[in-house]
Structure 1
Amino acid sequence: MRLRGHWYRGGTSKCWLFDADDVALHATSQEEVLMLLADAFGAADARQLDGVGGGTSTTSKAAIITPTPEGPADLDYLFAQVGIGDPTVELGSNCGNCATAIALYAVQSGIVAPGAGTTRVRMRNVNTGATLSGTISTPGGRVPTSGRARVPGSSAPGVPVSLSFHAPWGQTTGSVLPTGSPVDEIVLGEAGLTGSMVDAGAPAVFLPADQVGIDLSSMTDPLATHLPRLIRARSAAAVQMGIRRPEDPPQNAVPKVGVVAPAGDYIATDGAKITAESHDVRVRMLSMLAPHPAIGLTSAVAVSLASALPGTVVAEAARLAPLGTSASGLLRIGTPAGVITAEVTTDGSGNVSEVALHRAARQLAIADIDVAQPVAQTA
């Protein structure tokens, strides 16, 4: 069967975007949709050799898009994290980098008509109910096809997109602090860890880097010796956050797990020297059981919210002055790819109402994907 797809780079991810009507030609139930995506990506193979997947967590992503011109948003999108070496697809999360691409796609495909100066695309992530908006420059109503914007983690230029995440938070667990506490002990069966669990952008758990024994003075370490413990911590935190029951198998996509440390000089993955003065907090995240090469935008949102919540391990590391009510401030996050900046805005009650990040996107291809049917393995 042939499935029409639109291939985009959004920020530091690559995403296949599909129109819901095109998907409906081949799959109608959710189970059929998941099987279709797994087959299209070649998910059963760790190299994704017989599909369009990229073989990494940041290049094995998809979104199915439904225009909603009469709704509160311009479109709904279902985000899918496709397995690598595992023919499964997870629908429990969101991806800001893919949302960046979706905003550009919406303008380029005509879902949203370009405005005279800028065009704002309103998006609803149906996985979590989160609302986002992407703002794109469209001078004179011109639809952009290229741009010069760059983001840490990619040297390639793209169309600039300002991506905003809007409150309310806690869409997955019901609260921005799922346990009701800014810090908790995460029980691993041995000595526990102290961590902060936050549900904003995506559910995430943050651990002090020194407690885990990870030195963030260099971001080049593959973390191989630390991965088992971090993965166990994420699995335990998922139960404490109410994301899964103890008897359920762990998910690979959520909650996100990361380690944090106060600002300090460090070496980025490309060898660049990042000074302590250039950022407020250092963060290193895992993505689908492997270290993220930069930071996912949903994780950046979770870091931003946690930095504004007194007592969390992120707030203790960042030590920023409180924003107060109806104010905006910048949080500079040191990541393996360099420093990214989030603009954090509070409402009249002092709660974070919006987190905005500046990204870049570019269309890579439009393709009719020849989806291979799975072949039974024989000895």
Structure 2
Amino acid sequence: MHIPATLVRGGTSKCWLFNQVDVPGDRGDLERLLVAAYGATDPVELDGVGGATPTTSKAAVVGASPEPGIDVDYLFAQVGLGTGSVEWTSNCGNCATGVALYVVTKGMVPVTGDRTRVVMRNTNTGAVLEGLVDTAGGVVHHFGRQTVPGTRAGGVGVGLTFRDPAGGTTGSLFPTGEPAQNLRVGTAEPVRVSMVDAGAPVVLIDAVSAARTGAEPLERISADVPWLRAVRHGAASLMGLLQPGEAPGDAVPKVGLVGPSVPYTTTLGERVAAEAHDVSVRMLTMNAPHPAIGLTSAVAVAAAGLAEDSVVSRAASGPADGWLRLGTPAGVVAVRCSEVRDGLPHRVTVQRAARLLADARIYVPETGAPRAA
């Protein structure tokens, strides 16, 4: 069998996008199809269209939304590497950037002048996002000059805004009721963390309290993966993300280090001065160091930065006001919190870029075909 799909780069991720009319509606059948199409039983995904890294083994199913005021719904899938499974509990802001450009390009949302607004709902989490797509001259563009940290390639500009991101999963910006607290993992000394729910559930470790900087090279973060996973798993139950008896997973909460700004060199060899950013951030994506930062994680860092006692405010030497500049391995990512009321941001915006790379037919082995009724 074969299915139509579009490959898109959104920010620093690549994602295959599927129209919901072309894929099974049953989640189990859809998972089998994606595993087969991506070759996801193989960690290098050689016999499939997966990209063999967490940031390039992603998918989204897109369709018109029945909800008034929302243009499209999208279901996000993080396809496992060598696991033969798909993780369905999270969202991806970079893929949402690609979804915004995709639906404008495919005519699912009409062009409305120099900027076209797309309102999207992530059905995994219920999060609502706005994509403001560059349609200068009232036309769809296939190429652009907007760049993002992590690649020198240009793309079509997309301003991505998360609406009311706080508490989307747990009901509270700080699910434990505290902006920061000590967390003991195993027999090690406790570390200071902020457990945050904004954009996605995230546990942010005070790098200094953990004898780190938050600006470590990716090789050092790779060595810390077992420890970071232990922190993630320890925080999951405290954040109310696990049912009784349920084993913790490696998708949520997202986990990373936050430290003061320091001079460093990006993965592209560019020098970044300490004055060019407010905090240093290093995150995991699943169980690998993120080459930049996931946008949902960036939202959580920015929202936590509004609270005076959070690990982000401590690293930044005070609460953030408006824009917060994050020093990531790929470069500086600026995030803006606006319409802040009672300490909660009602809009969090990041400037991104996207490009449609290919329209294709993916040939799927019969093992990925939907089951007969």
- TM-score normalized by the length of structure 2: 0.94
- Pairing 1:98–2:92 present: no
Structure-to-structure mapping, 1:278-293, within 5 angstroms: 278-293=276-291
Q: Which amino acid aligns with 1:359?
A: R
The Cα of 1:213 is off from its aligned counterpart by 3.2
The Cα of 1:29 is off from its aligned counterpart by 1.6
Q: Which amino acid aligns with 1:11?
A: G
Alpha carbon RMSD of aligned pairs, Å? 1.7
Q: Which amino acid aligns with 2:68?
A: G
Distance 1:243 1:74, change over 3 A: same
Name the counterpart of 1:169.
Answer: 166
The Cα of 1:120 is off from its aligned counterpart by 0.2
Distance 1:70 1:202, change over 3 A: closer
Distance 1:217 1:176, change over 3 A: closer
- Pairing 1:178–2:171 present: no
Name the counterpart of 1:195.
Answer: 193
CA contact (8 A) 1:9 1:362 kept: yes
The Cα of 1:104 is off from its aligned counterpart by 0.2
Name the counterpart of 2:17.
Answer: 17
Structure-to-structure mapping, 1:1-379, within 5 angstroms: 1-23=1-23, 27-68=24-65, 71-191=68-188, 192-245=190-243, 247-321=245-319, 323=321, 329-374=322-367
The Cα of 1:140 is off from its aligned counterpart by 3.4
CA distance in 2, matches of 1:103, 1:253: 24
Q: Which amino acid aligns with 2:217?
A: M
CA contact (8 A) 1:220 1:268 kept: no
The alignment partner of 1:101 has SS state of: helix
CA distance in 2, matches of 1:56, 1:210: 29
CA distance in 1, matches of 2:90, 2:67: 25
CA distance in 2, matches of 1:160, 1:166: 19
The alignment partner of 1:34 has SS state of: helix
Q: Which amino acid aligns with 1:364?
A: L
CA contact (8 A) 2:166 2:345 kept: no
CA distance in 1, matches of 2:133, 2:69: 19
The C-alpha deviation readout for 1:293-324, integer Å capped at 9, x for no partner, is 0001011000000111221111111124564x
Of all paired residues, the percent bearing the same amino acid is 49
CA contact (8 A) 1:264 1:282 kept: yes
The Cα of 1:188 is off from its aligned counterpart by 1.9
Distance 1:142 1:289, change over 3 A: same
Distance 1:168 1:269, change over 3 A: closer
CA distance in 2, matches of 1:71, 1:127: 18
Tell me whether 343-352 or 288-297 shows the greater mean CA deviation.
343-352
The alignment partner of 1:121 has SS state of: strand
